[in-house]
Amino acid sequence: MTITAAHIPAIVALIAGILILVMPRLLNIVVAIYLICVGLIGLGALRFLHL
């Protein structure tokens, strides 16, 4: 299975959801990290990783 840029937001969302269920206090941090990752992917800032 090849991970493409289209798969990354879904993977990050899945991990974030699991972390929030396990540790609800992490909600603010998880949401912030998710938004930063999605923003960087949307801007193409992670293109150098060849994903």
pLDDT value for 21: 86
- Cβ density class 4-32: b for 16+ within 10 Å, e for less: eeeebeeebeeebeebbeeeeeeeeebee
User: Closest by alpha carbon to 41, among 8, 3, 15?
Assistant: 8
Residue 14 lies in a domain: yes
pLDDT tens column, 1-51: 566 767 777 887 788 788 888 888 878 887 888 788 778 877 877 666 655
Crossing angle of the two packed helices 8-22 and 27-43, in degrees rounded to 10: 170
Domain count, the chain: 1
pTM of the model: 0.52
Residue 2 lies in a domain: no
What residues make up the domain containing 39?
8-49
Residue 20 lies in a domain: yes
Residue 23 lies in a domain: yes
What CA–CA distance (Å, rounded) separates 32 from 47? Answer: 21
pLDDT value for 6: 72
Residue 3 lies in a domain: no
Residue 1 lies in a domain: no
